[in-house]
Structure formats: C-alpha cells, structure tokens
Amino acid sequence: MKVYISADIEGVTGISNWDETHKGHEGYEIYRLQMTKEVAAACKALLEAGVTEILVKDAHEDGKNLIHELLPKEVKIISGWSNHPLSMIEGLDESFDAAVFIGYHSGADTNGSPLKHSLNPDKIRNIQINGEIADEFLIFAYGAYYLKVPVVAVTGDGNLIRHVRRFDSKIETVATGEGFGGALVSIHPEVAIERIYKHVKKAVEADLNQYAIHNQKEYELVVEFTRHEDAYKYSFYPGVEQISEYSVCFKTNDYMQVLSFLLFM
C-alpha cells in the first residue's frame, strides 16, 4: 500500500502567530519540530498498519521545514517547489491508495484561526468552489480526487476540522486547537501526537472503499482579491471573467485547469 502525506504548519499544535511560521523568527524552530513530530506520528501509524511506501510533501513556505532524519527511514520527502499545478500535493498520482493532510488550517474569510488564509494571505481575500468557501483542504482534496485518490485523514484547527466533517464524515480527523480572534486554545503537543497516530492508523486500517471520490461535473472557481488591480489583471487569464471590482470567476469541467489558474495567480 502507498500513502501520500501533505504537511503544512499553520494547523500544527500550538502555533498562533505568523512569526512562528517563518524561518529566522522566534518560535519557528519549536513549531518546525512539532510539525515533524506530527508527520512522524502519522508515518509510524501508516507503517504499523502495513503501508509499504510513504511520500511526504513539505508544503509550507519554502518547502524545507521538516527534519527528515526524525522521520522513519522508509519515508521519502519532496522539499522545495517545482511549480507544478498540484502544488501542495505535488508528487501524488493514481498509484497511491490514500492521502493524509497534516497541519492544515482554516481558509480565508473565516474566523477559525489567527493564521487563517487560502494560498496567498496578502493577495487573496476569499476563494469559493461551487459556492463553498475553499480552504486549502478543499482545494487540494479535489486535486486528490481528480487523481482518484481518497483523502482519509486530516489534522488542523477545529474550524477546519468541522468543515472536513461536514464535507465527508468518513474522513478521520484530529483538531489541534480552537482559534478565537487572534488567539488559540491548543491541546497538549503530546496529546496531538497520540491522537494523530490513533486516527491515521484507524483511517488506513479501514476499508478504503468507504472513502468517497468527490469529483464534480463542473467547477466554478470564484477568487476575491484584496486589491481591485489584481481582479483586473487576472481577468485576462484565458476563460476568466471579472464579476466585480475585486472578484473573478473561472468555470471548467477539468479540475487541473483550476489548479493551473491558481498556480499562475
């Protein structure tokens, strides 16, 4: 069995400040280590459940955050960015049996995390897919489904986890904390590690056929920018229409086209 892991940092246990997500700033090394420990817990669970191949995408900032030597030796990591449209799930293909998302976070235009955003927090105010607020979980879950790979487990802040459960209650989840305003109530880091191990193991030991492949017949992507100049600029992308001073719309029946447009923004 092959399993793919996409790992971000803003939904890692205890992190509540942007400085803690950036290299060279206070707290980053603490949360880089916690990110690694949470991925390691998922990897350990997968291996004990009989998974024979694990590929991890380091999907935060420069893609060079995870401490590889602290992961099981069977694990391979994709670090850095090649600028492929799959982005945070780069390297995923139809040969994988399942995907796991670790350290994900609430999307833009929500109040569930002090670090809420969707892709570029300086440029994008909100993203919707088929009328639903699209956080990075939804954007890249649809990418996994495009490749016929089910998402079986997700960890991150409580607001994100409630979204995941509404989207598909079969997905195993771990809520690492609850955001309110600019603050976060977090569970203990060791408790998070224990829960991630438990729920990831449960996810892959189950019948993988229970996890749905949520493909849509058509995708309507609406992106609201923070600057009206960007809405005007990206309206010239083929097939994109400006629908308000700050928003553009793109419709397609090929989800890879959605990811390609997001890549070029």
> In this predicted model, what pLDDT tens digit does every residue of 199-241 receive, in sequence order?
999 999 999 999 999 999 999 999 999 999 999 999 999 999 9
Tokens representing 92? Answer: 């995923």
Mean pLDDT of all residues in 130-142? 97
Q: Which are the contacts of 71, defined by CB distance < 8 A and separation ≥ 6?
A: 36, 39, 40, 43, 56, 77
Mean pLDDT of all residues in 2-17? 98
Where helices occur in 184-237 by DSSP H, the ranges are 189-205, 228-234
Is 144 within 8 Å of 93 (Cβ atoms)? no
Mean pLDDT of all residues in 23-28? 95
Question: In the chain, what are the domain boundaries?
Answer: 2-117+136-210
State residue 68's pLDDT score: 98
State residue 114's pLDDT score: 96
Mean pLDDT of all residues in 71-77? 98
Mean pLDDT of all residues in 72-80? 98
Mean pLDDT of all residues in 144-163? 98
Is 45 within 8 Å of 196 (Cβ atoms)? yes
| Share above pLDDT 90 across residues of the chain, in percent, rounded to a whole number | 99
98 burial (CB, 10 Å; 0-12 / 13-18 / 19+) is buried
Is 88 within 8 Å of 94 (Cβ atoms)? no
Does the predicted TM-score (pTM) go above 0.85?
yes
In angstroms, what CA-CA distances link 118 with 110, 146, 151, 170, 262? Answer: 10, 20, 19, 24, 11
Is 18 within 8 Å of 51 (Cβ atoms)? no
State residue 209's pLDDT score: 95
Residues 265 and 201: their CA atoms lie apart, in Å, by 37
Q: Looking at this protein, which amino acid is placed at residue 187?
A: I
- Please give the DSSP secondary-structure letter assigned to residue 14: T
Neighbours of 47 (CB within 10 A): 16
Q: Looking at this protein, which amino acid is placed at residue 96?
A: F
For domain 2-117+136-210, give the fold: Rossmann fold (3.40.50)
Q: Looking at this protein, which amino acid is placed at residue 236?
A: F
For the chain, what is the mean pLDDT? 97
